[in-house]
Amino acid sequence: MPASLLALCFGNFIIGTGALIVPGMLPVLADGLDVSLPAAGQLISAFAFTVCVSAPVLAGLTSRFDRRNLLLAMQLLYVAGHLAAALASSFGAMLAIRVITSIGAALFTAQAAGTAALLVPPEKRGSAIAFVFLGWSIASVVGVALGAYVSATVGWRAGFALVAAAAGLGAWLVWRYVPSGLRVQPIDLRMWREIFGNRVLLLVVAVTLLQSVPQFVLISYIVPAVIAFVAATPAMLGVIMAGFGLTGVLGNVLSARFVDRLGPHNVVLAAILSMTASHLLWPWTVGALPLLALALFLWGIGSFAAQSAQQARLSALAPQFTSVSIAMNSSALYLGQAVGTGIGGVMLAATPGVEGYRSLVMVSVPVFLLAMALSVYVSRAAVQRLALPPP
């Protein structure tokens, strides 16, 4: 694998770790900032909502920038943002810091995928984009697990400091290995009109939203849920979360391997089906560690496989607009995170404890089914050649 793609993959790993470390630290972070668990969950929602709103806009505003310089700047923003978070002493300050830091996530993930498409031949774009997104799925191993373990043993400030240090390394790798002079097609009003006038492209983004909401209804509160379900110690919790993340890595590897062969439509459908089965199992995992492991395995296999296949799907539909369409896809993913976290927080405030965590699937399963139905419809529409015309 070219060193440039490895650098982009590692950069995505840092972005994902910074986003996911807060759910892992949520109970300890809530105590440290002297707020309730649902209130602390708004740190997740605020981060996600900012990415949702800013990703497409920033993609347009920065479309004329050299890709290496842009990606380097976003890693440096992550360094500064996580150092500031490690020093924060109030919930208000932490909320503001997370909102500013989220700009790095808004730009890096989508533009790394667009950059990867510029570095490989057209027939390898799908697998290259999936490989770059592998960094995000590896972050699922490290992010939540690191947050849960470090916050319980050393403290939540150390978790933010570790992300800042890793982002410094990520910045150096981007500067060293991503070639300069890479540019995407400048984004103008004509391009925006073509994108928003294309039904298939918008429906693909809607599938991302619908498969993201049900995941974050539960995953934002998965650490306290697992503790409540199986009385997990910090060490046991770290192992469970790492295992969950490893299945996400496996799912992303399988997606990268088969997306060009089977087609992204089929990979997305299989991934959402796997996650639906996982959430159907979830209420029955109380006190049953093997069943919990199976549910998390099915969920992890589908989670990041779906996202990387969605990015490949968009690139295949309109390769000339990859930097914008994937930014929109990231926006939908983070909007789902914000909405799902908010819904989960409301449900847990009404029904706390084990029963509250069990009841979260009353929202997640129906929305997964809707995502599958829409994905099938989009696949049929794409076959009818309703994609964007060439420039």
Give the H or E element holding residue 319.
none
C-alpha distances (whole Å) from 213 to each of 45, 144, 341, 342, 343 are 11, 18, 8, 10, 9
Write the pLDDT tens digit of every residue in 308-327. 788 778 877 777 777 677 77
Mean pLDDT computed over every residue of the chain: 85
The DSSP code for 124 is G
Interhelix angle 234-262/222-230, rounded to 10 degrees, is: 120
Confidence category of residue 40, pLDDT binned at 50, 70, 90: confident
Higher pLDDT: 259 or 72? It is: 72
pLDDT exceeds cutoff 60 at 387: no
Could you please state the CATH topology (level 3) that the domain comprising 3-383 is classified under.
Growth Hormone; Chain: A; (1.20.1250)
Give the H or E element holding residue 90.
none
- Tokens 């979360």, residue located: 241
Cα–Cα distance for residue pair 336/26, rounded to 1 Å: 19
Helix (H, G, I), strand (E, B) or coil at 154: coil
Write the pLDDT tens digit of every residue in 184-194. 777 777 777 87
- First-to-final CA distance of the chain: 30
Biggest alpha carbon–alpha carbon distance for the chain = 57
Strands (E) across 233-379 are located at: none
Confidence category of residue 389, pLDDT binned at 50, 70, 90: very low
Mean per-residue pLDDT for 250-265? 79
Q: Which of 253, 251, 143, 173 is nearest to 10 (CA)?
A: 173
Which range, of 209-213, 259-263, 274-278, averages the lowest pLDDT? 259-263
Two structure tokens written together for 214: 């049900």
Write the pLDDT tens digit of every residue in 194-207. 778 778 888 989 99
Say if residues 302 and 181 touch (Cβ distance below 8 Å). Answer: no
Q: Is 122 exposed, middle or buried (0-12, 13-18, 19+ CB in 10 A)?
A: exposed
pTM: 0.74
Confidence category of residue 1, pLDDT binned at 50, 70, 90: low
Of the chain, the percentage scoring pLDDT greater than 70 comes to 96
Cα–Cα distance for residue pair 268/376, rounded to 1 Å: 10
pLDDT for 386 equals 43
How many CB atoms within 10 Å of residue 349?
Answer: 14
- Tokens 């290995």, residue located: 177
